[in-house]
Structure formats: structure tokens, C-alpha cells
Amino acid sequence: MANNPLRRESTDLPHWMARLRWFATELAMIVTGILVALAINTWWQGRETAQREQSYLADLVLDFEENALRLEEAIKEADEVLEASQILLGLHSAAAGRAIGTDSLNYLLQTLSILPTFQPVTRTWDDILGAGELQTLSNPELRMLLADFESQMRLVGIVEGTQEDQLVSLFVPYIMEHLDYAAAALFSSETIEYPEERYAYTIYGVLGTREFRNWVVLRMTWADDLQGVHMVVLEVVKDVRAELEREVE
């Protein structure tokens, strides 16, 4: 009976199963440890990502508050240009100009020289793109609105650049040639003395002329076009701000 192979097999089987059970237990512990470590790492990375997102969102709120203020200021400046244009178009003669005085005429022409511009605040958006962390912003609607804002900035740059070229190459030469008295302080940011009163007649001489009125209408058209572009961007900025407010609540 001691040499029976069937009996030897039956006595060895429990030992083999015990070793398999031990191996399975060890393997399960290792796999469980790896999964727990991965879960902890994923949780930690998710927490860090969430913290970065909240930091980005807070900075974006500040940036777009400033963007709204700058756009509103640019729109207000365009209103001033349009208002000055309407007043100048209402002066049909030298007598009408003398009635409001050379100082007022000079101020109106200076206003016409304003080119409303919008310098956007994009530091946080640039940081996000530069770090390759666009996906850190978990809200897809917000990402789309920010991308729309960036595309609008390109349009603003094109329109403002075109109008600046027109102002410098077309409007300024006309002013400098025909309106010497007003032109003296028209395009200078420094405090300078006004020229003598003898130059005042150059303003009165062009009031009411077809050429002068055409220039004023052209300048008014530029201001109106640019204001329209700024208003479109302001609506995008308002949408971004609304989405940001929902995110930081």
C-alpha cells in the first residue's frame, strides 16, 4: 500500500493547491496595491489639475473684467468721434464756425483724430496655451468661447491696423495741409503752444465745403465700422464672463 502511486498523488494535491492559493493571494495583493497606487496617483493628479483650473479661472475672471472695461472705453471714444463728426457736418459756413469759436473747432478736429483701439488682456490665456493645458479647463463651452475671443482679436487687429494706415496716410495729410491752426496740436501727445491767431482762418475757409464734409463723413464711417467690431467683441467677452461666473460659483 505504501508504494501505491494513486495514494501518493492524493497526498501531494493539497500541497500543490496550497501553493497555488498562496501565489494567487500574493498576486491579488500585488495587483490590488498597483491599482490602489494608480487610483491615488490619479486622484492626486486630478486634484492638482482641479487646483490649476481654479487658479486659471480666477485669473481669467480678472482678465476679462479688464477686457470689458477696455472695450467699453474704446466704444465710448468712437461715440465721441461720431458726435464730433455730426457737429462739424452741421457747420455749413465760416459764420457757423466763428459762432462756436476756434477753440471748439480745434477740439472737435482733435476728437476726429482719435483712433479707438482695444489692447486685450490675454496673459492667462497665453499661459494656458503656452503650457499646453487647454484641457485643464474642463468646460468645453468655455474653451469654445475663449477660442472665439482669440479669433475676434485677429479681426480687431486687422481692422485697427487698416484704419490706422488710412488715418495716417489719408486723413492726417489733409488736416496738416488745410487746417494748420488745428493741426498744430492735433497729433501730439505733448503740451505745445498754439500758433498765432492768424492761422485760424484756415479752419473757417474749409467749413461747409464738399471736400471737408466728405472727409468728415469718411472719418465718421471709419469710427462707426470700428465701433461695430468692438461691440461684437464685447458681446463675446460678456459671454466668456458669464460662463466664468458659472464655473467659479
Q: What is the pLDDT of residue 196?
A: 55
Residue 244's pLDDT band, with cuts at 50, 70 and 90, is very high
Q: Cell numbers at residue 101, please?
A: 469759436
Q: What is the pLDDT of residue 223?
A: 94
Q: What is the pLDDT of residue 116?
A: 92
- Report how far residue 73's alpha carbon sits from residue 163's, in angstroms, rounded to the nearest whole number: 18
Contact 145, 242 (CB under 8 A): no
- Kindly report the pTM of this predicted structure: 0.76
Q: What is the pLDDT of residue 69?
A: 97
Going by C-alpha positions, the residue among 118, 116, 134, 132 that lies closest to residue 60 is 134
Q: What is the pLDDT of residue 98?
A: 87
In the chain, domain spans: 5-248
Task: Dump pLDDT digits (tens) for 162-185.
Answer: 998 888 888 877 877 777 555 544
Mean pLDDT of 135-142: 90
Residue 225 has pLDDT above 90, yes or no: yes
Residue 146 has pLDDT above 70, yes or no: yes
Q: What is the pLDDT of residue 36?
A: 67
Task: Dump pLDDT digits (tens) for 190-218.
Answer: 555 555 555 566 778 888 889 999 999 99
Amino acid at 122: T
Residue 113's pLDDT band, with cuts at 50, 70 and 90, is confident
Residue 226 has pLDDT above 60, yes or no: yes
Q: How many CA atoms lie within 13 A of 146 on its CB side?
A: 25
Of the candidate ranges 68-72, 161-165, 185-189, 191-195, the one whose mean pLDDT is the lowest = 185-189
Q: What is the pLDDT of residue 182?
A: 54
- Sign of the Cα torsion 165, 171, 176, 181 reads negative
Alpha helices in the chain (DSSP H): 5-89, 94-100, 102-112, 123-130, 140-166, 172-178, 180-186, 201-206, 210-248
- Report how far residue 198's alpha carbon sits from residue 203's, in angstroms, rounded to the nearest whole number: 11
Contact 112, 84 (CB under 8 A): yes
Q: What is the pLDDT of residue 216?
A: 92
The mean of the pLDDT values for the chain is: 81
Q: What is the pLDDT of residue 136?
A: 87
Q: What is the pLDDT of residue 12?
A: 52
Residue 6 has pLDDT above 50, yes or no: no
Q: Which residues 6+ apart lie within 8 Å of 162 measured at CB? A: none
Q: How many CA atoms lie within 13 A of 184 on its CB side?
A: 18
